[in-house]
Amino acid sequence: MDTVSIAEIKRSISTLVNRVAFGQERIVLTSRGRPKAALVSIEDLQKLKTLESSTASPFRAQRKAALAMAQAVREMTLARRTGVPFSDVAEDLRRLREERDLSIARKPTIVITWPWRKSSAWSSGQATSVCTIQSSTGYRG
């Protein structure tokens, strides 16, 4: 399959149409390097339409049957629950994700521990402070 830019089509449309119609070529039309459309012969278009109609009908019927079955199951389940509706799953997921994000986003707590009594190291100036970082994820450094 050949690719041709929109600019080139403007210059040589009749040549490209003849290549497609009589040369059994298929040409992809691009704009800024990206495929936008295709030039195909009438025969190819008819084949595409036939293929589309033959495959679309069974799938459409299967989807309708599956949706009807799902609706029937939903109605039976609601009847068993004495009319109590299901919770909004999307809202539940949003709330759970928000809670998770908040727990992850908590900033770590910094705890600085100093020696609680003066020792010989403290009085000589050699004592150092200990810094412990505690986060909500359980990390201690």
Tens-place pLDDT, residues 68-77: 999 888 888 8
Q: For 114-126, what is the mean pLDDT? A: 52
Q: How far apart are CA 114 and CA 121, in angstroms?
A: 13
Please calculate the CA angle 59-61-62 and round it to the nearest 5 degrees: 65
Residue 40 has pLDDT above 60, yes or no: yes
Fold of 2-40: YefM-like fold (3.40.1620)
pTM over 0.75: no
Sequence ranges of the domains in the chain: 2-40, 89-134
- Which has more pLDDT, 107 or 51? 51
pLDDT for res 76: 85
Main-chain phi, psi angles of 114, to 5 degrees: -110, 155
In percent, the amount of the chain with pLDDT more than 70 equals 72
pLDDT for res 141: 47
Q: For 110-127, what is the mean pLDDT? A: 53
Q: How far apart are CA 43 and CA 84, in angstroms?
A: 57
| Phi-psi domain of 24 (left: phi exceeds 0; alpha: psi -120 through 50; beta: other) | left
Q: What is the mean pLDDT of the chain?
A: 77
Q: How far apart are CA 119 and CA 136, in angstroms?
A: 34
Residue 30 has pLDDT above 70, yes or no: yes
**Are the beta carbons of 28 and 54 closer than 8 angstroms?**
no
Task: Output DSSP code: residue 106.
Answer: P
**Are the beta carbons of 76 and 86 closer than 8 angstroms?**
no
- Which has more pLDDT, 125 or 59? 59
pLDDT for res 133: 52
pLDDT for res 86: 73
Q: For 10-19, what is the mean pLDDT? A: 89
